Amino acid sequence: MKRTQTPEEREREAKKLKLLEELEDTWLPYLTPKDDEFYQQWQLKYPKLVLREAGGVPEQLHREVQEAFGALHEHGCLFRDLVRVQGKDVLTPVSRILIGNPGCTYKYLSTRLFAVPWPVRGSAAVRYREAEIAAACQAFLKLNEYLRVETAQTWGELVAKDRANIDVVPVCIGPDFPRVGLGAFDGQDEADIRSRSAYNVTLLNFMDPQKMPYLKEEPYFGMGKMAVSWHHDENLVDRSAVAVYSYSCEGPEEDSEDDPQLEGRDPDVWHVGFKISWDIETPGLAIPLHQGDCYFMLDDLNATHQHCVLAGLPPRFSSTHRVAECSTGTLDYILQRCQLALQNVRDGAGGADVSLKSLEPTVLKQGEEIHNEVEFEWLRQFWFQGNRYSKCTDWWCQPMAQLEEMWRKMEDVTNAVLREVRKEGVPTGVRNETLTAILGPLSTRQSLRREWHARCQSRTARTLPADQRPECRPYWEQDDPAMPLPFDLTDLVAELRGLLLEAKPEKERKA
Ligand SMILES: O=C(O)CCC(=O)C(=O)O
Ligand SMILES: [Fe+2]
């Protein structure tokens, strides 16, 4: 399988390796609540990280949320994702499900997750497979609302404290004076805070360490086994908050004999780790998370810092509420895009003989780009995840069928465009402009199809149970009479390149 790594990924990887080399075989220091400097460092270097212990959350909400986690787990609604990391396909150790606003999606590690809708007011009733699944989605909506309000309030208080500090603290005071940080929240008003706390999805995580014999060791600080490696959360609205509800299924007060002699974090207890990106001076933090604890990453914390999840002994769930950047990630958005593309089809004669309203290169190019977008960002992403979505709800069935139907029409459109460029007697200049406009999107289509096809065949993909196994869809055989164009576009792209070259004057061809 070909490994595709972006230049940024390569650069980051090199930087990381260099950092690890510099460390040689020493660990960087990190702090836990057992350390005297823990709270001071937290206030000084991690002021936008806020912990809300379980006691501060309503008892009834705990009960509903914890029952909801259990129900989704029992009904088999959580799945390990086959994500792409540094050009390789890997299964996440944690199982996940995305719940959120109807039609919303969230993309991470090249994987678009499709939200199982929670029952927001004012949108059509959702059919769930089981009453318990319906109740669970309702519970996470309630938790979302609670965390949204708590986030905005805590954030507001922090901004106010920051402002007060600036006003009170004389300028001559030393740089290490503990405070939130001079103007750390510059120019933020209530509206910013409100929109950056307006969580539209939650990504649920589950892992039972006992069933995961191989977990990676934390590489920089020696914090022990990780359930989730160091990362920034992706695909979020700039400076938006993330709120996490953590539910480790620990027995009643199992109170592990806290041996104060022992160095580092307790390996039986789940923790969240924090570090400042690219900083090897500031100690990292490992914050223990007990049943029902919540933490908040406010403002730019997620951008300036990285976090990881350190495994404990018991199974654990978490619900991570986010403001997904979904300007190109909602069902309404992609439906509108498809409608835009199909506006170029003249009403009437359908099928293989579609006729196009405009042959303008910009119009054709846009059409082919939308064709790629719906195929690779929606249809292939969806079917790559097997049949998992139907476990909870049939909500995505009709939209996916509709998108596929529109995509199928776009195959006819591409076919019609090709008919035009192959026509005898088209002036060279016109033909070249058309060829130049469509060659980019068509060769992208060709290489992405190849990549998705290979991803679906990967060894890891084939080990998955049948109902989760990636489906390469749409897919059709070379000689399928129902399809106007082949699945594999290698020959076609070569033909178009040839046509373009042919039409160029001798001089240019040599250059
Ligand atoms: O489970 C947690 O506490 C956080 C998980 C996390 O970092 C993530 O899902 O991005
Ligand atoms: Fe995260």
**pLDDT per residue of the chain (511 residues) written in tens, 0 to 9:** 345 677 887 888 888 788 777 777 789 999 999 999 999 999 999 999 999 999 999 999 999 999 999 999 999 999 999 999 988 999 999 999 999 999 999 999 999 999 999 999 999 999 999 999 999 999 999 999 999 999 999 999 999 888 887 766 555 444 554 445 557 787 788 999 999 999 999 999 999 999 998 999 999 999 999 999 999 999 999 999 999 999 999 886 555 555 666 789 999 999 999 999 988 899 999 999 999 999 999 999 999 999 999 999 999 999 999 999 999 999 999 999 999 999 999 987 667 789 999 999 999 999 999 999 999 999 999 999 998 999 999 999 999 999 999 999 999 999 999 999 999 988 999 999 999 999 999 999 999 999 999 999 999 999 999 989 999 999 999 999 999 999 999 999 999 999 988 866 655 555 5
Ligand 1 site residues (CB inside 6 A) read 203, 205, 228, 233, 244, 246, 272, 307, 309, 318, 320
Token pair 């679906």 is at which residue?
A: 456
Please check whether residue 203 is in contact with residue 312, taking contact to mean a CB–CB distance below 8 angstroms.
no
The verdict on whether omega for the bond into residue 399 sits within 30 degrees of 0, i.e. cis, is no
Nearest atom (ligand 1) to Cα of 96: 9
In angstroms, what is the span from residue 257 Cα to ligand 2's centroid?
A: 30
**Which ligand 1 atom lies nearest to the CA of residue 94?**
9
Pick the CATH number of 331-464+483-506 from 1.10.340.30, 1.10.540.10, 1.20.58.1470, 1.20.1740.10: 1.20.58.1470
Neighbours of ion ligand 2 (CB under 5 A): 233
Q: What is the pLDDT of residue 178?
A: 47
CA of 159 to the centre of ligand 1 (A): 25
Task: From 321, 345, 302, 359, select the one nearest 46 (Cα to Cα).
Answer: 302
Q: Where are the domains of the chain?
A: 7-322, 331-464+483-506
Structure tokens at 249: 């299924």
Rounded Cα distance, 152 and 141, in Å = 17
Work out the number of other CB atoms within 10 angstroms of the CB of residue 249. 16
Give the distance (Å) from ligand 1 centre to CA of residue 201.
13
**Which atom of ligand 1 is closest in space to residue 205's alpha carbon?**
1
Q: How far is the CA of 307 from the centre of ligand 2 (A)?
A: 6
Q: Which atom of ligand 1 lies at the shortest distance from residue 318's CA?
A: 1
CA 479 – ligand 2 centroid, Å: 46
pLDDT, residue 208, reads 98
In contact, 183 and 171? CB cutoff 8 Å: no
Q: Which residue's alpha carbon is nearest to atom 1 within ligand 1?
A: 318
**Structure pTM?**
0.92
Please report, for residues 29, 157, 442, the alpha-carbon distance to residue 383 in angstroms, rounded to integers and kept in the order given. Answer: 44, 45, 22
Topology match between the domains 7-322 and 331-464+483-506:
no
Residue 151 has phi, psi (to 5 degrees) of -60, -50
The Å distance, Cα 382 to ligand 1 centre, comes to: 23
Coil, strand or helix: which one is 499? helix
Superfamily name and number for 7-322: Alpha-ketoglutarate-dependent dioxygenase AlkB-like (2.60.120.590)
